[in-house]
Amino acid sequence: MRRVIIGIGGVTNGGKTTLTRRLIAALPNCCVVHQDDFFKPPDQIEVGEDGFKQWDVITSIDMEAMVNTVTAWVENPVKFARSHGIAGSHPYEQQEDDEIQILILEGFLLYNHKPLAEMCSRRYYLTIPYEECKLRRSGRNYRVPDPPGLFDGHVWPMYLKHRQEMEDQGVAFVSIDGLLSKDDIFNQVYTDVCNKILNIS
């Protein structure tokens, strides 16, 4: 049984979740782990020097729990999918030993945590410009609403900081233009996955 982990990272509101949903529907034996599911409780999120709760930093996420979850998938993808109720593209019945199992990791700070980044067979990174990102963010309804000034005072500066850190660490990734149409983004990534990963014996 071959195991493939695909990372879908990038800027907030860059199209990660939309792309992930389409990949899950198109790829065989595929399930997903969302980084957002590992946010710590609000009372554990510190207030930074910028005056905002630090939601957009790696310490706001329980990365140990996320890595443990991914490790559990690696050890037994079929059992993991069943026990976690994670929907695959079709039922996990009568799997052949040579079949491929795919896990998609989706999140905004996947590649700033070295153990998690190294687990990925392929890393994709969606980017959009400041103006578009701010426009999309303002149209979203979050469980914890954005306080005034959060985007310019915390979200965007942290994105730039973490992207620079990722690049300084030499993390290899495929950059995806988030301004492309949803179809173009999906086709680019899906074709790359098929050519670079799924066709390798």
Is there a catalytic annotation at residue 36?
yes
Catalytic residue among 36, 43, 50, 152: 36
| SS (HEC) of the chain | CEEEEEEEEECCCCCHHHHHHHHHHHCCCEEEEEHHHHECCHHHCCECCCCCECCCCHHHECHHHHHHHHHHHHHCHHHHHHHHCCCCCCCCCCCCCCCEEEEEEECCCHHHCHHHHHHCCEEEEEECCHHHHHHHHHCCCCCCCCCCCHHHHHHHHHHHHHHHHHHHCCCCCEEEECCCCHHHHHHHHHHHHHHHHHCCC
Supply the residues annotated as catalytic: 36
